[in-house]
Amino acid sequence: MKKADYIWMDGEFVPWDEAKIHILSHVVHYGTSVFEGLRAYHGKKGTAVFRLREHIDRLFYSAKIYRMPIPYSKEELFNAVLETIKKNNLKECYIRPIVYRGYGELGVDPSKCPVQVTIAVWEWGAYLGPEALEKGVDVMISTWRRMAPNTFPAMAKAGANYMNSQLIKMEALQYGLVEGIALDFLGYISEGSGENIFLVKDGKLYTPSFGSSILLGITRDSVIRIAKDLGYEVLEMRIPREFLYMADEAFFTGSAAEITPIRSVDKIVIGEGKRGPITKQIQEELLGIMRGEKEDRYGWLTYVT
Ligand code: PPE
């Protein structure tokens, strides 16, 4: 990864190489963390963070689910993100705030371990490869399922959920594919290892509902709003696997993946096997807003000043 200069750790800036924790921290042993991932883009009016408020809100509800009292206010973390970007002099970056249980006692009970907070920023290019945004990606349905309800809370963006994501990702890479799509516990489409998924069929958009063990993606929400305002019907529902093969277009959404078209699934070509027109239209709209080229009509940008 590309190093930046400083990482915000519990209220202080620490040089990148010195941002360390104790090996017996609770998080190392039991995966006790919740985190966020978001991006800042550089446009005509300067650098702006995309949907910072919503990402901070999700961080707090992830922490609430896991009974982790965050020792800062939302406002403090909001400002800390902006300060961290400034301190590192970055025009565009990926932002990773993480809340975790540190060093105290080992054993499953986390309550004796302090809740700590770190914010890192770095330059991160296209998540699924340099050509993916335009050309699309070849993917597979994973043999691994997403977690069943009331096992691991899918709506909490917890570090531990990404052990499941790693299984999905590693399997896809072993088969020479870019990503895996997991089904939910009932066998309906859920999401990619680090992205939500949308399908386009006969001019309508479809995406799995939050009952299908998905992370409620903020990019997903942005796409739903943009698509509706462009006049498309958007259905959030249970989606059978075969509907994906029947789709005219399909794409992933995520802060890291942005909007990445899906070209094939299980070697079955989706639509025409390239970025479809509706995918392109929504991509241009969303990236246009993110990059400050189109009016910020939803109030999604926070400028780093
Ligand atoms: N589902 C999962 C499992 C997921 O990890 C992400 C984001 C999404 C959906 C989309 O959510 P949103 O970013 O709010 O639109 N994945 C993050 C982490 C990626 C990583 O490899 O780390 C991200 O995109 O930042």
Nearest CA to ligand 1 atom 20: 194
User: 30 burial class (0-12, 13-18, 19+ CB within 10 angstroms)?
Assistant: middle
Nearest CA to ligand 1 atom 2: 194
- What's the 147 CA to ligand 1 centre distance in angstroms? 16
Mutate to test the pocket of ligand 1, among 51, 163, 255, 300 (most ligand atoms within 8 A of CB): 255
Catalytic (active-site) positions: 157
User: 54 burial class (0-12, 13-18, 19+ CB within 10 angstroms)?
Assistant: middle
Residues of the chain with pLDDT under 70: none
Confidence at residue 305, expressed as pLDDT on a 0 to 100 scale = 87
- What's the 105 CA to ligand 1 centre distance in angstroms? 31
Instruction: Please name each of the domains of the chain with its CATH number.
Output: 6-122 (3.30.470.10), 132-290 (3.20.10.10)
> In Å, how far from its chain's centre is CA 235?
21
Mutate to test the pocket of ligand 1, among 38, 39, 41, 195 (most ligand atoms within 8 A of CB): 195
Q: Name residues contacting ligand 1 (CB within 6 A).
A: 37, 165, 191, 194-196, 215, 217-220, 253-257
Tokens 């462009």 label which residue? Answer: 230
Confidence at residue 234, expressed as pLDDT on a 0 to 100 scale = 98
- What's the 195 CA to ligand 1 centre distance in angstroms? 5
- What's the 255 CA to ligand 1 centre distance in angstroms? 6
Confidence at residue 51, expressed as pLDDT on a 0 to 100 scale = 98
pLDDT in tens, 43-102: 999 999 999 999 999 999 999 999 999 999 999 999 999 999 999 999 999 999 999 999
Distance CA 6, CA 100 (A): 19
Distance CA 62, CA 109 (A): 18
pLDDT in tens, 252-267: 999 999 999 999 999 9
Closest atom of ligand 1 to CA, residue 257 = 24
Q: Is the pTM of this model over 0.95?
A: yes
- What's the 25 CA to ligand 1 centre distance in angstroms? 25
